[in-house]
Amino acid sequence: MEPRNNTQISKFLLLGLSEELELQPLIFGLFLSMYLITVFGNLLIILAVISDFQLHTAMYFFLSNLSFVDICFTSTTVPKMLWNMQTESKVITYEGCIIQLYMYLIFIGLDDFLLAVMAYDRYVAICHPLHYIVIMNPRLCGLLVLVSWITSALNSLLHSLMLLQLSFCSNLEIPHFFCEIKQLIQLACSDTFLNNMVLYFGAGLLVGGPLAGILYSYSKIMSCIYGISSDQGKYKAFSTCASHLLVVSLFYFTGLGVYLSSAATYSSHSSTTASVMYTVVTPMLNPFIFSLRNKAIKRALRRFFGMETFIKRPFVLGLKKCT
């Protein structure tokens, strides 16, 4: 089969999750619901943090950034999939595919870095509580987020530019619901050795590095919690990082599960299905995980919607009437 130069390619075909027509309405409704829940849930977290002055701390600053990234992360893949299903088309332009890949790599990298930064924040709060405000000052918080953005953008740019150098064959069908980098490399007819090496090296460095930081932070956290004498103190210290630990577990276990399962079974369909977990399900669950047990977030949301004032008003009026 003769390779074609990548400049001649005008489109790819996204095969999606299933080609069975009777399942398309169900898949469309399910993903539309999950996407709307993801956007509104994470948007509520952002609004709660912005509107409540008491939440203007390092922990909630990182949480609002994570919520923003989760909205963008899901928005790079799901809307295009829904549009293709609605129009009964599988086409994505070559330029659109590269842009989608570029944005996808940025936001998945940011998710990775922000979870590591949040782990460090919890480590400082639990192990160095008296110096927390001094250490986690606004300048350091902004610098950590800025470095995360720059590193993710440069990594994404490197992979995108290297992908532009590849030539593709006549088979341009991507067995996925978005332009996933491994699938695109497999479609190439030219030599992909360098692309694969950079991909695995980058994944080891940019995924393994933050993961090592998270594990180190939690090893220190567990050591500090173990040194607390009272059971109530241990519970209070652990509860401050329980939500973050659950989100980290969901993100890494589902993400690693995709690549381990695909490597073991060589099934693109199983990889595509598993990708739904960390690209759609995890961003959707994050607002619930962080807000369900967080009284400060709940209070900020009640204030934002005026529910707290409404609840207190009858009691205040009753006091005035009695006096």
* Domain annotation covers residue 126: yes
**Residue 3 binned pLDDT confidence (cut-offs 50, 70, 90):** very low
pLDDT at residue 151 greater than cutoff 90: yes
| Both tokens assigned to 241 | 């990082």
Q: Is a pLDDT exceeding 60 seen at residue 264?
A: no
Please state the rounded mean pLDDT for residues 272-279: 80
| Residue 234 falls in which region: left (phi positive, over 0), alpha (psi -120 to 50) or beta | alpha
Domain membership flag for residue 323: no
In a domain, 322, yes or no: no
Q: Do residues 101 and 179 touch, judged by C-beta distance below 8 A? A: yes
- For the domain that residue 160 is a member of, what is the CATH number? 1.20.1070.10
Kindly state the tokens that stand for 180. 């996933």
What whole-number distance in Å separates Cα of residue 243 and Cα of residue 66? Answer: 13
Q: Which pair of structure tokens corresponds to residue 206?
A: 């940019």
- Nearest-5° angle of CA 255, CA 175, CA 204? 30
- 35-39, 134-138, 266-270, 319-323: which range is least confident on average? 319-323
Which distant-in-sequence residues (6+ apart) come within 8 Å of 111 by Cβ? 66, 69, 70, 73, 251
Look at 99 and 275; give whichever has higher pLDDT. 99
Percentage of residues of the chain with pLDDT beyond 70: 87
Per-residue model confidence as pLDDT tens digits over 294-321: 888 888 888 888 765 444 444 343 434 4
* DSSP state string for 165-231: T--B-S--EESSSS--HHHHHHHBSS--HHHHHHHHHHHHHHTHHHHHHHHHHHHHHHHHHHT--SH
Q: Using the predicted structure, report yes or no on whether residue 43 has a pLDDT greater than 80.
A: yes
Q: What is the pLDDT of residue 46?
A: 95
Which phi and psi angles does 188 have, rounded to 5°?
-70, 145
Residue 206 located in a structural domain: yes
Q: Given this model, what pLDDT does residue 262 score?
A: 54
Would you say 144 and 210 are in contact if contact means Cβ atoms under 8 Å apart? Answer: no
Provide the pLDDT confidence category of residue 257 given band limits of 50, 70 and 90: low
* Interior angle at CA 25, CA 19 and CA 29, nearest 5: 120
Tell whether 10 is covered by a domain: yes
94 lies in some domain: yes
Indicate the pTM of the whole model. 0.88
Number of domains the chain contains: 1
Task: Judge whether 225 and 237 are in contact, CB under 8 Å.
Answer: yes
Residue 10: Cβ within 10 Å count: 10
Computed on alpha carbons and rounded to an integer, the radius of gyration of the chain in Å comes to: 23
Express each pLDDT in 4-32 by its tens digit: 444 467 889 998 887 777 888 999 999 99
Q: What is the pLDDT of residue 253?
A: 80
Mean pLDDT of the chain: 85
Residue 19 lies in a domain: yes
Query: How confident is the model at residue 260, as a pLDDT?
Result: 60
How far apart (Å, rounded) are the C-alpha atoms in residues 187 and 170? 9
Check the CA dihedral 83-84-85-87 and report its sign. Answer: positive
Asked if the structure places residue 225 within a domain, the reply is yes
Range of the domain at 258: 6-317
| Cβ atoms within 10 Å of 76's Cβ, excluding its own | 21
Give the range among 58-72, 97-111, 169-183, 305-319 with minimum mean pLDDT. 305-319
